[in-house]
Structure 1
Amino acid sequence: MHADDASLQSLIGSETSADPAFVFDGTPVSRGEFLAKVEQTTAWLAAQGIGKGDVVAVWLVNRVEWIALLFAAARLGAIVAAVNTRYRSAEISHLLRLSGAKLLVVEAAFRAIDFAAILADIAGDDVPALQELAVVGAGAIPAQWPCVRFDAFAKNYPPTPTQDDVDLPVLLYTTSGTTKGPKLVAHSQRTLATHASSVAQALQLSPQRHALLAMLPFCGTFGMTSLLGFIAAGATVHVLDAFEAAPALKILGEHNITHTFGSDEMFRRILALTDAPFPHLEVCGFAAFQPGWRELAAEAEARGLPLFGLYGSSEVQALFSIGRASDVFADRIEGGGWPMSPDAKVRVRDTETGELAAPGVSGEIEISAPSRFLGYFNNPQATRDAFTADGFFRTGDIGRLRGGAFVYETRAGDAMRLGGFLVAPGEIEDELKSCAGVADAQVVAIDLKGQARCVAFVIPAGILPEQEELTAHLRERLAGYKVPARIYVVDAFPVTDSANGVKIQRAKLRAIAMERIAAEPS
């Protein structure tokens, strides 16, 4: 990619190649066919009144419409807000309100997800900018907003003038906040396309030799970055609409897949289905969210499924760095690794002294790189707080430098990693506090039977609802991985006095939760 052409379109190129760019559910889509779909989608968006600066929320599983909408929005100077398919009404409402989305593109139905019921729980007054829903797939969604069909591929819309300002926001990811609801991380075409090219070059991807199994959701940076990197390389991408181990295993075996990326749990489920080796796999980048990941990596290695530790975030994009085949095994599987971009800089700041830390000394990881985000959308104060005076992003992650690489150790602060996503306790706590009978709530993460789950402690106000009633309320409002495994009633939270005021002792709450669970009848 030329330095002066940092558009998403440049990743595809202008040639109408017949080689497959993607394979969706066994159906190939060539680069030429995809370019035509982008043109059709651009005209469709313009016909819906979408133009420069307008936000389109995309609430879809992995399908060609998702990618076409992103590339088409880029051509119009519009912005895509990526919606996690596991979100429920409170989360969707927050994202729509914060982004100011005019249009929401949504599935009619997908497996157990009842999109219509979730939308019915959103008050129109909470999302005043939303003007229209567009439904992908068969079926209709009865809703309080005008509803149209996404028919860009079936109907001809008049072509529209396009402009490619590669430094405007084009994609918004959600990331955990410290209060209710996530912040929106804004990326431009330049940050996305430049990093995609860095990934293709760093992994030395070849269109002839390499193929990706895309089993992560496009709505998150992990899924999107790996997708864009392989588009930049001209390699074929085999797409799962949503992860399931059996279809993933089938594609791995039948299509000579060389690369795939996912959580440790995804790879654990794939390995559990077969004793056969994986002779074609070269790189399986994994994020370690569960206990026992080192043992998993050793088992996977013996089976020809080579796991590589990596690092990323919504703010600096996924695949920011990865282990190298030349690393010793123990180093290769650690989180962190070697930055993909030769222009990336990583340093570590001692959290006690505020000085830059020497190699091997743990502190907060700070990053400057072409993949770095523009800022938090409509949140200038949070954006200012996120950067150092010389422009490095404060990751909020703890790690240490190791030669030219670095090691990720843990997340600073109280954010929890649940279901593979970073979650702020305040988001769940605020939902609990909105329930009648709950005066206050605190949520902590624990290891429950090998899985990261959250546990809530509530202080009652009057008559507290039964735990089942509270849990049912949360299931309607939040993604399943955010629903506490246990809800315990307490008279007060353990606290400690500090120079900055009284602080709740989350470590003590975690210990109490583990004691209570250990005392439960087996």
Structure 2
Amino acid sequence: MVPVSDKSKIVRGLPLDNPISEESLGVQFYQRLLKRNDSPAMINVVTNESLSFRDMFVMTCKFAEWLRRQGLVENDVILMCCGNVLEYFIPVIAAMYSCIVVANGNPIYTEREIQHAIDLAKPKLIICVKANYDKFVNIKNNIKVIVIEDIYKLIETINIDPLTFVPKSCNVYDQTAVILFSSGTSGLFKAVMLTHRNYNALFNQSENPRLSATTGSSVILFLPFFHVYGFAQVMANHFLGNCLHFMHKFEVASLLAAIEKHKISTLPVVPPVVIILSKTPLASKYNLTSVHTIICGAAPLSAETEAAILKVFKNANIRQGYGLTETTFAATLFYVKDLGKKHGSCGTVIPGSQVIIRDPETGALLGPNQVGELCLKADIVMKGYLGNPDATKNAFTEDGFLRTGDMCYYDDDLYFYIVDRLKELIKYKSFQIAPAELEALLVTHPKILDAAVIGKPDEFAGEVPLAFVVAKGEVTEQEIMDFVSQNAASYKAIRGGVRFLNVIPKSVSGKILRKELRELITKG
């Protein structure tokens, strides 16, 4: 790392090893797929269906021509609302050939949420799965809706020579490639615009041998393709030419069996899955020695949980990273040579980037071991929020750093640690309590499977911590409260009590849905 300047207090990543491409994503994917053979690009580990790189090349060219015949042109938008299906990235890459924008929506959106996504993205075409077709057609927007299962039928009469197909170039700095919907902390989701340049910066990371341990890897993915984490994983692995194994959703036995059968080497996960895998008795029934890298993101992972999962995957290193929808993928991560160091850290600054830790109240820049809001300036940072200039303006500091809303600090070696969301800190009297810290402590209890903590309004203290717990065996509220009191500072005590749930409500990326937990309080 480049040393931090005492004067500027900016943590700077190393210089880029190679320049970031200035060619469009469509041109680059076309050139790479053209050179690939019949090796599998994707394998559904549940159905054993597969799609080769050669078939992907032909189908993307044909579907790009189909889009042209429907009248779609550069800057038009298609809205993908599919789960993890084999054909998902055929329309995605085909659209990129023509600099058409791809918006990625959640297939379980309600009609209200679908309408909001349509209002934001203004798509000319919606692609969904057959099971959800009626839901989309019922929304009267006069937008063409097709089901992804029909993609083979749609292109079977398209008679073009893929070898003569010409993908479009564009201004990669300004041209939006992808729209992802970010839930934020309140209200309906916002539409995050990510450019061709943003993804080129991601691919630059992926091809850097000092940063990426996944080139030539066998990867398995159950993370949703429409989510920033899953989408980036698929894009990067297609770009690198890796075979991507995938599941429609996470299921413990199916995942473990697939790891053994396909000799999976790289396992991207989120913290709730790490906790489940570290505690399941099923793990001992499978050979998991092929896994050498566990990539974990979307939420903080404690050092204790790291240690627990490495007892299950004995040949693996765990690689935490930190990012958000607005940063395309990871803003901090570990260099390959540093894997296994600094347990509980989300790594250090990626090359070509700058990070500051900022006091959220005064704006003052903070130094090592001081907790403040992480702010980032990098090529992976979004263009802005579509149709929302006020939110875009408020997302950045006056000098152009993205405000992440995450409370973090870095140590003397410039490794970063996530404390919690700025808006989720519990204000107990004059103290600030990070829910993530207490949650990480609670799941170390042998009779607790999962946990969440929120602030409960209190007349005298402002807020007190309230724990929601999924128990594994018999455990009482008092036992849990005593456990926290014995292992944390007195002001962090669970003064709001303990509530037992069957499951902690979480988003598809594994983030705790604290709004739903707060609603449980108001309902009594």
TM-score after normalising by structure 2? 0.71
Letter in 2 for 1:259: T
Q: Residues 25-36 of structure 1: matches in 2 within 5 Å?
A: 25=45, 26-36=48-58
Letter in 2 for 1:134: I
The separation in 2 between residues aligned to 1:10 and 1:170, in whole angstroms, is 13
SS in 2 for 1:22: strand
Name whichever structure is richer in strand by fraction.
1
The separation in 1 between residues aligned to 2:298 and 2:201, in whole angstroms, is 26
Q: How big is the shift at 1:15?
A: 0.8
Deviation per CA, 1:471-520: give whole Å up to 9, x if none.
xxxxxxxxx979946856xxxxxxxxxxxxxxxxxxxx6xx88xx6xxxx
Give yes or no for the alignment of 1:87 onto 2:109: yes
The separation in 2 between residues aligned to 1:313 and 1:99, in whole angstroms, is 20
Moved more, 45-54 or 161-170: 161-170
Deviation per CA, 1:430-467: give whole Å up to 9, x if none.
xxxxxxxxxxxxxx99642249xxxxxxxxxxxxxxxx
Report what 1:155 is aligned to. 157
Deviation per CA, 1:217-262: give whole Å up to 9, x if none.
1101111112222223322211223322222212211122111212
The separation in 2 between residues aligned to 1:446 and 1:32, in whole angstroms, is 54
Report what 1:181 is aligned to. 188
SS in 2 for 1:332: coil
Letter in 2 for 1:319: A
Q: Is the 8 A contact 2:44 2:86 kept in 1?
A: yes
From 15, 27, 30, give the equivalent of 2:35: 15
From 346, 356, 361, give the equivalent of 1:352: 361
Letter in 1 for 2:196: Q
The separation in 1 between residues aligned to 2:109 and 2:37, in whole angstroms, is 37
Deviation per CA, 1:274-308: give whole Å up to 9, x if none.
21452121221123759x85443222111225433
The separation in 2 between residues aligned to 1:486 and 1:404, in whole angstroms, is 36
Deviation per CA, 1:163-190: give whole Å up to 9, x if none.
2313411210111246531100011122
Q: Is the 8 A contact 1:249 1:270 kept in 2?
A: no
Q: Is the 8 A contact 2:23 2:169 kept in 1?
A: no
TM-score after normalising by structure 1? 0.71
From 137, 155, 160, give the equivalent of 2:149: 137
Q: How big is the shift at 1:397?
A: 1.0
Give yes or no for the alignment of 1:322 onto 2:333: yes
Report what 1:68 is aligned to. 90
Letter in 1 for 2:149: G
Report what 2:497 is aligned to. none
The separation in 1 between residues aligned to 2:152 and 2:33, in whole angstroms, is 26
The separation in 2 between residues aligned to 1:376 and 1:324, in whole angstroms, is 31
Letter in 2 for 1:370: D
The separation in 1 between residues aligned to 2:298 and 2:74, in whole angstroms, is 39
The separation in 1 between residues aligned to 2:195 and 2:465, in whole angstroms, is 34
- CA 1:237–1:9 in 2, change beyond 3 Å: closer, same or farther? farther
Report what 2:352 is aligned to. 343
- CA 1:14–1:446 in 2, change beyond 3 Å: closer, same or farther? farther
SS in 2 for 1:35: helix
Q: How big is the shift at 1:102?
A: 1.9
Report what 1:312 is aligned to. 323
Report what 1:333 is aligned to. 344
The separation in 2 between residues aligned to 1:155 and 1:358, in whole angstroms, is 62
SS in 2 for 1:383: helix
- CA 1:190–1:88 in 2, change beyond 3 Å: closer, same or farther? same
- RMSD across aligned C-alpha pairs, in angstroms? 3.4
SS in 1 for 2:329: strand
Report what 1:224 is aligned to. 231
Report what 2:491 is aligned to. none
Deviation per CA, 1:32-86: give whole Å up to 9, x if none.
2211121011112222222112111101112243212111111222111101133
- CA 1:150–1:236 in 2, change beyond 3 Å: closer, same or farther? closer
SS in 2 for 1:14: helix
Q: Residues 277-426 of structure 1: matches in 2 within 5 Å?
A: 278-287=288-297, 289=299, 294-303=303-312, 304=314, 305-324=316-335, 331-334=342-345, 336-339=346-349, 341-402=350-411, 403-414=413-424
Give yes or no for the alignment of 1:105 onto 2:105: no
Letter in 2 for 1:244: E
Q: Is the 8 A contact 1:59 1:105 kept in 2?
A: yes
- CA 1:345–1:372 in 2, change beyond 3 Å: closer, same or farther? same
**Which structure 1 residue ranges, 5 or more long, are not aligned?**
110-114, 139-148, 418-424, 426-443, 452-479, 489-508, 517-522
Letter in 2 for 1:381: D
The separation in 2 between residues aligned to 1:89 and 1:74, in whole angstroms, is 27
Deviation per CA, 1:146-203: give whole Å up to 9, x if none.
xxx7734433266886423134112101112465311000111221132123134244
